[in-house]
């Protein structure tokens, strides 16, 4: 029964997000970015594959982040803001099931979108490959339709899964969608810089300050740790153990974020 | 079970103010029972705490102190919601969905599967008159239509107990009559209905029992008849409505009766005290050439009881400084 | 279980989860450090492109690159790689100083650390000199940069004529202190001389920049070590002269259990096979400046 209810909530979230026009706006934006990378590629001889790969992966990541923040936050925070949730909570649905269901639904949305964008990227690279003469192809660091790109896509997906959990957490406790977006984006940026925060002691002499900032760097979700775009584009080997560790990190942090969301949401009141 | 709702000194404070939060007491030691079967009306002016009470019962708010039980379980327990139907105060749902999709979704949450979900959704949407529009996205719905969706989703699970927060709001007179009929039908089907309203005439027509809230306190509760009786000062009487009565005759009538009101040219409403029988007057007026339209009994209305209860509560508050506390189930002492 | 207890347990569980997550990340970075392709760390390879694109954020960007330069240096120092170390130091400092040509500390830092020999630096005095020349072009009033170039030529490359030329030039910049003028003469006369070097270092020890002070301190200790090695070598030769055999170890020369230490508290090493005294390979003063080995 629990599983069915969670499934229903998740499916409902997915349906809603698919009909959300924001999704299509972001999709068009992503398409434009990738198209522009294609144009740039035409100009610089020989480097075009790298540029398309670079921009393509970056677009997947950026579009994914935008979707997560706006649709993810939108769905839950708006639901609370507009009071659509009042009717839902009168049903025999425990609050934790609501959170888990929302998360899984958002995750499904992200999965479909990342898969679609990755497929589009590969198509473009395949076309590039077909179009380029053999000598140009030999000059590339890595093949155009390099399967290893998927490693980067997988880690980007894990990054988005984590960001979704964080966005969901912020939606549950702040009272407006706007603040949830602000907090989520803020924490995302902090997470991108988390490595610098952790190594703060390298720059600063004051030990207390350095240790404090370093601690923050360890607690903040390390979004920079999912970035293997540079390696993958140049064909540098990324060990399977590295990927496994990273996924494990993501899983642990997601559980923490969801747990926090459940705790906050279970105690929350709705006026 | 015999009691669907039981509260014991249920209290709710909200903190207002950002810098130095002060508690605002929305509900003060509310104690009452709602027995199974029948229609219970929760009445009171705006801000009295009616919605707060319903939200506490359904688990949207947590009590500051005191306890409450819904269908035998502590409030907030989702298990009790299996047999509960709830219409929220300002229903909004999901713009992108159609009413049918919403109802099918909710039906699934109750545990119904597959075709049963669709059957229930269709049935309940027909019941509230949305059968034709059920596939349109709800962002195209008018306020009244959304209100009906709200009613529908409150009924999709065949609830034993239905709580409606301001069910008439947003509806035109036709809609309101339909809702009244629906409530009576629910009662006839053996369900218990609780609704909150500040429209007393609806309560008068529908409720077996009534509770009046003012500023967070229960100031009166009991059957409509009990409350009206307690408020009335023997205020029974008659109203006689006639047409084609010459004005001069009406003027001559005035000192003998309680009140004469001109409704239109030649049409008058005449109020008689309960000590005066209407028959002789009617004979006299018809002999004078008037035509009789109606003779009705006057009773003190719930409105009188309401105003009296609110008024005395306010006065009591001013006098004692603390306000009275009403026992559940009995007329105001 | 009451609500309070449940909440406390939940919070504790989350703290454990966060700690576990951090541990996993730390384990990953220690066990599988990923090599970072150069181009990507810099984001923008060409300084000129960077300048055009940064528009009004040049100052901030230069700060960012400066921080990255220091972090890069710190990380490379701790890293166990044996090749291509400090490879990003010069590009990062170059970017920093292109975006902000007045970034004084970047020039001074580069002067010192680009020249240092492994394991403490990339041993690229040429890059250091290029950076300082760039700094002088943008800030002609900075006599310190000219002096630093002179010092690098003296200490690292051993080109005494060039060193003297730079000291001369530094002395001619308005605002240069008086003690620079004699340096040119001293350099030409005594080139390769520890006394001259010692004097330069003592002056540098009074600099307002902490990096420079620390580097000067270390340089002085290296000179002391060189002096000590010479003395110890003298003792070895004296032993041979009197005993007609080379000593087998320190205890022969100083008594049982006694052992000489360098200014950084690392023991000096005596090799009985070659009869030479050297600094310990573990000493932080390694490597000693080659050009000043002779007195």
* Cβ-proximal residues to C242 (8 Å cutoff; 6+ apart), any chain: none
Q: Tell me the CATH number at B267.
A: 3.30.70
The CA distances from residue B126 to B133, B142, B165, in Å, are 10, 17, 21
Q: Is A202 on the interface with C (CB under 8 A)?
A: yes
* Cβ-proximal residues to C2 (8 Å cutoff; 6+ apart), any chain: none
Both tokens of residue C137?
A: 């072009």
**Mean of the per-residue pLDDT values of chain A:** 85
Q: Which residue of B has its CA nearest to A6?
A: B109
State the DSSP code for C153: I
- The arithmetic mean of pLDDT across residues A66-87, rounded, is 84
Label each residue of chain A as H, E or C.
CHHHHHHHHHHHHHHHHHCCHHHHHHHHHHHHHHHHHHHHHHHCCCCHHHHHHHHHHHHHHHHHHHHHHHHHHHHHHHHHHCCCHHHHHCCCCCHHHHHHHHHHHHHHHHHHHHHHHHHHHHHHHHHHHHHCCHHHHHHCCCCCCCCCHHHHHHHHHHHHHHHHHHHHHHHHHCCCHHHHHHHHHHHHHHHHCHHHHHCHHHCCCCHHHHHHHHHHHHHCCCHHHHCCHHHHHCCCCCCHHHHHHHHHHHHHHHHHHHHHHHHHHHHCCCC
Residue B192, classed as helix, strand or coil, is strand
Q: Is A44's pLDDT higher than 70?
A: no
Nearest-angstrom CA–CA distance, B84 and B106: 13
- Is B68 inside any structural domain? yes
Kind and range of the H or E run holding B82 = none
- Is B136 inside any structural domain? yes
Q: Which residue of C has its CA nearest to A226?
A: C25
The minimal CB distance from A5 to the residues B93, B109, B150 is found for B109
Decide if B81 and A1 are in contact by the 8 Å CB cutoff: no
Decide if C7 and A246 are in contact by the 8 Å CB cutoff: no
Label each residue of C226-248 as H, E or C.
HHHHHHHHHHHHHHHHHHCCCCC
Residue B32, classed as helix, strand or coil, is strand
Nearest-angstrom CA–CA distance, A139 and A142: 9
- List the chains bordering chain A where 3 or more Cβ pairs fall under 8 Å: B, C
Q: Tell me how close the Cα of A90 comes to any Cα of chain B, in angstroms.
A: 6
Residue B70, classed as helix, strand or coil, is strand
pLDDT grade for B325, boundaries at 50, 70 and 90: very low
* Cβ-proximal residues to B32 (8 Å cutoff; 6+ apart), any chain: B5, B7, B211, B218, B221, B328, B329
Could you give the number of structural domains in chain B?
A: 2
Query: Testing the interface with A: which of C24, C49, C75 to mutate, by most A Cβ within 10 A?
Result: C24
Rg of chain B, C-alpha, whole Å? 24
Q: Are B252 and B125 part of one and the same domain? A: no
Q: Tell me how close the Cα of A231 comes to any Cα of chain C, in angstroms.
A: 7
pLDDT grade for A205, boundaries at 50, 70 and 90: low
For a pLDDT cut of 70, what percent of chain B falls above it?
Answer: 89
Composition of chain B by helix, strand, coil, percent to 5: 40, 30, 30
Q: Tell me the CATH number at B84.
A: 3.40.50.300
Identify the contact set of chain A against chain B, taking CB-CB distances under 8 A: 1, 4-5, 8-9, 12, 15-16, 19-20, 82-84, 86-94, 267, 269-271
- Is B330 inside any structural domain? no
pLDDT grade for A203, boundaries at 50, 70 and 90: low
Of the ranges A198-207, A208-217, B65-74, B230-239, the best mean pLDDT one: B65-74
Full residue range of the structural domain in which residue B245 is found: 237-298
**pTM of whole model > 0.95?**
no
**N-terminal to C-terminal alpha carbon distance within chain B:** 30
pLDDT digits 0-9 by tens, B194-206: 999 888 888 888 8
Decide if A1 and B111 are in contact by the 8 Å CB cutoff: yes
Both tokens of residue C173?
A: 């910049």
Q: Are B171 and B259 part of one and the same domain? A: no
What pLDDT is recorded for position B194? 94
Residue spans of the domains in chain C: they are 36-219, 224-292
Report chain A residues whose CB lies below 8 A from the CB of B111: 1, 4, 92
What pLDDT is recorded for position A198? 78
Kind and range of the H or E run holding C144 = helix C143-152
State the DSSP code for C287: S
Nearest CA among B326, B70, B57 for reference residue B211:
B326
- List the chains bordering chain C where 3 or more Cβ pairs fall under 8 Å: A
Q: Is A138's pLDDT higher than 80?
A: no
Decide if A230 and C13 are in contact by the 8 Å CB cutoff: no
Identify the contact set of chain C against chain A, taking CB-CB distances under 8 A: 7, 10-11, 13-14, 17-18, 20-22, 24-25, 27-28, 31-32, 34-37, 39-41, 67, 70-71, 74-75
Q: Edge-to-edge strand order for the sheet containing B73-74?
A: B22-35, B3-16, B65-70, B73-74
Q: Regarding predicted confidence, which is higher, B230 or B104? A: B104
Q: Are C144 and C169 in contact (CB under 8 A)?
A: no
Q: Which residue of A has its CA nearest to C6?
A: A263
pLDDT grade for A197, boundaries at 50, 70 and 90: confident
pLDDT digits 0-9 by tens, A166-192: 999 998 877 778 888 888 888 998 888
Kind and range of the H or E run holding B98 = none
Nearest-angstrom CA–CA distance, C96 and C131: 11
Give me the phi and psi of B54, to 5 degrees please: -65, -40
Of A141-145, A189-193, B180-184, C128-132, the least confident: A141-145
Question: Apex CA B23: angle with CA B20 and CA B29, to 5°?
Answer: 170
**N-terminal to C-terminal alpha carbon distance within chain A:** 29
Residue spans of the domains in chain A: they are 2-267
Q: Are B253 and B221 part of one and the same domain? A: no
Nearest-angstrom CA–CA distance, B115 and C185: 103
pLDDT, tens digit only, all 295 positions of chain C: 577 888 899 899 999 999 999 999 989 888 887 776 655 545 444 555 555 555 556 777 788 888 888 888 887 877 666 667 888 889 889 988 888 888 888 898 888 889 988 878 888 999 999 999 999 999 899 999 999 999 898 888 888 888 888 998 998 899 888 888 777 777 776 666 677 778 778 888 887 777 788 888 888 898 888 888 888 888 888 888 888 888 888 888 888 888 888 888 889 988 888 888 888 888 888 878 776 666 5
The minimal CB distance from A230 to the residues C10, C20, C36 is found for C36
**N-terminal to C-terminal alpha carbon distance within chain C:** 81
Nearest-angstrom CA–CA distance, A52 and A55: 5
Decide if C24 and A263 are in contact by the 8 Å CB cutoff: no
Report chain B residues whose CB lies below 8 A from the CB of A269: 60-62
Q: Is A98's pLDDT higher than 50?
A: yes
What pLDDT is recorded for position A46? 52
Q: Is A64's pLDDT higher than 60?
A: yes
What pLDDT is recorded for position A94? 93
Decide if C17 and A202 are in contact by the 8 Å CB cutoff: no
Q: Are B150 and B222 part of one and the same domain? A: yes
- The arithmetic mean of pLDDT across residues B16-29, rounded, is 81
- Is B168 inside any structural domain? yes
Decide if B92 and A15 are in contact by the 8 Å CB cutoff: no
Residue C119, classed as helix, strand or coil, is coil
What pLDDT is recorded for position C235? 87
Report chain C residues whose CB lies below 8 A from the CB of A236: 34-35, 37
Nearest CA among A87, A99, A69 for reference residue B94:
A87
Q: Are B31 and B179 part of one and the same domain? A: yes
Q: Are A162 and A180 in contact (CB under 8 A)?
A: no
Q: Is A266 on the interface with C (CB under 8 A)?
A: no
The CA distances from residue B322 to A98, B216, C140, C177, C261, in Å, are 42, 13, 85, 87, 89
Q: Are C54 and C65 in contact (CB under 8 A)?
A: no
What pLDDT is recorded for position B323? 39
What pLDDT is recorded for position B331? 44
pLDDT digits 0-9 by tens, B247-288: 888 888 888 888 888 888 888 888 887 777 888 888 888 888
Residues constituting chain A: 271
Predicted ipTM of the assembly: 0.85
Q: Are B213 and B251 part of one and the same domain? A: no
Both tokens of residue B328?
A: 């559940």
Question: Domain C36-219 belongs to what topology?
Answer: 1.25.40
The CA distances from residue C238 to A148, C10, C231, C276, in Å, are 68, 76, 10, 13
Q: Are C109 and C212 in contact (CB under 8 A)?
A: no
The CA distances from residue A203 to A14, B168, C61, C75, in Å, are 46, 67, 17, 11
Decide if A252 and C17 are in contact by the 8 Å CB cutoff: yes
Q: Tell me how close the Cα of B214 comes to any Cα of chain A, in angstroms.
A: 19
Q: Which residue of B has its CA nearest to A83?
A: B92
Nearest-angstrom CA–CA distance, B320 and B329: 24
Query: Testing the interface with A: which of C5, C16, C18 to mutate, by most A Cβ within 10 A?
Result: C18
Q: Are B132 and B45 part of one and the same domain? A: yes
Nearest-angstrom CA–CA distance, B304 and B199: 13
Q: Are B133 and B224 part of one and the same domain? A: yes
Both tokens of residue B202?
A: 């609806």
Nearest-angstrom CA–CA distance, A230 and C221: 43
Of the ranges A135-139, A244-248, B125-129, the best mean pLDDT one: A244-248
Decide if A242 and C25 are in contact by the 8 Å CB cutoff: no
Label each residue of C163-229 as H, E or C.
HHHHHHHHHHCCCCCCCHHHHHHHHHHHCCCHHHHHHHHHHHCCCCCHHHHHHHHHHHHHHHHHHHH
- Is B313 inside any structural domain? no
Query: Testing the interface with A: which of B26, B56, B60 to mutate, by most A Cβ within 10 A?
Result: B60
Q: Tell me how close the Cα of C85 comes to any Cα of chain A, in angstroms.
A: 17
Q: Is A68's pLDDT higher than 70?
A: yes
pLDDT grade for B327, boundaries at 50, 70 and 90: very low
**Mean of the per-residue pLDDT values of chain B:** 84
- The arithmetic mean of pLDDT across residues B122-144, rounded, is 89
Q: Regarding predicted confidence, which is higher, C48 or B331? A: C48
Q: Is A179 on the interface with C (CB under 8 A)?
A: no
For a pLDDT cut of 90, what percent of chain B falls above it?
Answer: 30
State the DSSP code for C122: -
């Amino acid at each position: 029964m629990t599983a069915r209810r969670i499934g229903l909530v998740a499916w409902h979230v997915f349906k809603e997000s698919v009909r959300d026009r924001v999704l299509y706006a972001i999709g068009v934006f992503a398409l434009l970015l990738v198209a522009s990378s294609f144009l740039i590629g035409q100009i610089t001889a020989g480097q075009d594959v790298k540029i398309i790969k670079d921009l393509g992966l970056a677009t997947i990541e950026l579009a994914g982040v935008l979707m997560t923040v706006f649709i993810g936050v939108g769905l839950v925070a708006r639901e609370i803001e507009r009071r659509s949730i009042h009717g839902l909570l009168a049903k025999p649905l425990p609050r934790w099931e609501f959170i888990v269901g929302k998360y899984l639904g958002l995750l499904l949305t992200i999965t479909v979108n990342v898969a679609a964008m990755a497929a589009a990227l590969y198509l473009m690279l395949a076309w590039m490959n077909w179009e380029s003469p053999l000598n140009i192809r030999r000059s590339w660091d890595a093949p155009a339709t390099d399967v290893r790109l998927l490693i980067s896509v997988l880690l980007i997906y894990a990054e988005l899964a984590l960001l979704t959990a964080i966005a969901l957490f912020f939606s549950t406790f702040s009272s407006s969608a706007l603040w949830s977006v602000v907090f989520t984006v803020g924490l995302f940026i902090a997470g991108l810089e988390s490595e610098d925060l952790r190594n703060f002691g390298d720059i600063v002499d004051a030990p207390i300050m350095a240790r404090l900032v370093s601690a923050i760097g360890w607690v903040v979700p390390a979004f920079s740790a999912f970035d293997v775009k540079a390696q993958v584009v140049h064909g540098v080997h990324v060990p399977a153990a590295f990927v496994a560790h990273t996924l494990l990190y993501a899983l642990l942090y997601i559980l923490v974020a969801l747990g926090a969301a459940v705790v906050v949401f279970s105690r929350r009141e709705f006026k | 079970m015999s009691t669907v709702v039981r509260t014991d000194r249920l209290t709710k404070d909200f903190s207002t103010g950002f810098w130095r939060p002060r508690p605002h007491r929305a509900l003060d030691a509310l104690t009452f029972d709602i027995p199974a079967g029948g229609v219970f009306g929760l009445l009171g002016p705006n801000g009295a705490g009616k919605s707060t009470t319903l939200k506490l019962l359904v688990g949207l708010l947590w009590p500051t102190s005191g306890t409450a039980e819904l269908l035998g379980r502590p409030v907030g327990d989702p298990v009790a919601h299996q047999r509960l139907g709830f219409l929220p105060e300002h229903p909004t749902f999901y713009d992108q969905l159609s009413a049918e999709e919403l109802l099918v979704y909710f039906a699934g949450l109750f545990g119904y599967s597959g075709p049963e979900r669709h059957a229930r959704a269709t049935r309940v949407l027909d019941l509230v008159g949305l059968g034709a529009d059920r596939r349109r996205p709800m962002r195209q719905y008018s306020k009244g239509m959304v209100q009906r969706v709200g009613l529908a989703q409150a009924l999709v699970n065949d609830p034993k107990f239905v709580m409606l927060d301001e069910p008439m709001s947003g509806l035109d007179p036709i809609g309101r009559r339909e809702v009244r009929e629906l409530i009576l039908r629910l009662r006839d089907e053996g369900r218990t209905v609780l609704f909150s309203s500040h429209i007393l005439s609806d309560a008068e027509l529908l409720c077996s029992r009534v509770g009046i809230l003012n500023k967070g306190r229960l100031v009166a509760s009991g059957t409509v008849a009990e409350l009206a009786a307690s408020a009335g000062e023997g205020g029974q009487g008659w109203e006689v409505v006639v047409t084609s009565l010459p004005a001069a005759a009406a003027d001559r009538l005035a000192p003998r009766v309680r009140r004469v009101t001109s409704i239109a040219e030649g049409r008058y409403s005449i109020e008689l005290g309960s000590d005066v029988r209407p028959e002789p007057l009617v004979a006299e007026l018809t002999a004078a050439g008037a035509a009789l339209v109606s003779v009705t009994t006057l009773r003190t209305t719930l409105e009188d009881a309401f105003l009296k209860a609110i008024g005395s509560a306010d006065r009591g508050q001013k006098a004692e400084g603390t306000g009275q506390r009403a026992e559940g189930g009995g007329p105001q002492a | 279980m009451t609500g309070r207890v449940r909440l406390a347990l939940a919070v504790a569980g989350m703290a454990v989860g966060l700690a576990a997550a951090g541990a996993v990340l730390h384990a990953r970075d220690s066990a599988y450090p990923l090599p970072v392709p150069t181009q990507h760390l810099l984001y923008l390879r060409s300084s000129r492109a960077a300048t055009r694109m940064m528009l009004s954020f040049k100052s901030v960007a230069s700060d960012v690159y400066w921080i990255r330069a220091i972090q890069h240096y710190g990380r490379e120092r701790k890293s166990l790689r044996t090749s291509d170390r400090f490879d990003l130091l010069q590009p990062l400092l170059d970017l920093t100083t292109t975006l902000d040509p007045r970034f004084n500390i970047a020039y001074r830092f580069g002067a010192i650390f680009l020249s240092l020999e492994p394991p403490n630096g990339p041993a690229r005095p040429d890059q250091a000199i290029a950076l300082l020349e760039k700094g002088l072009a943008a800030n002609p009033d900075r006599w310190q940069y000219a002096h630093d170039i002179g010092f690098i030529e003296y200490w690292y490359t051993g080109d005494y004529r060039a060193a003297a030329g730079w000291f001369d030039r530094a002395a001619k910049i308005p605002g240069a202190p008086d003690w620079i003028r004699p340096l040119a003469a001293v350099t030409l006369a005594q080139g390769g001389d520890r006394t001259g070097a010692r004097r330069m270092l003592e002056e540098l020890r009074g600099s307002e920049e902490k990096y420079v002070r620390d580097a000067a301190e270390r340089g002085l200790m290296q000179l002391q070590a060189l002096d000590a090695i010479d003395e110890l070598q003298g003792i070895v030769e004296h032993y041979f002269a009197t005993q007609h055999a080379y000593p087998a170890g320190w205890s022969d020369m100083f008594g049982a259990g006694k052992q000489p230490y360098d200014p950084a508290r690392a023991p000096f090493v005596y090799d009985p096979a070659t009869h030479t005294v050297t600094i310990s390979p573990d000493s932080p003063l390694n490597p000693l400046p080659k050009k000043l080995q002779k007195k």
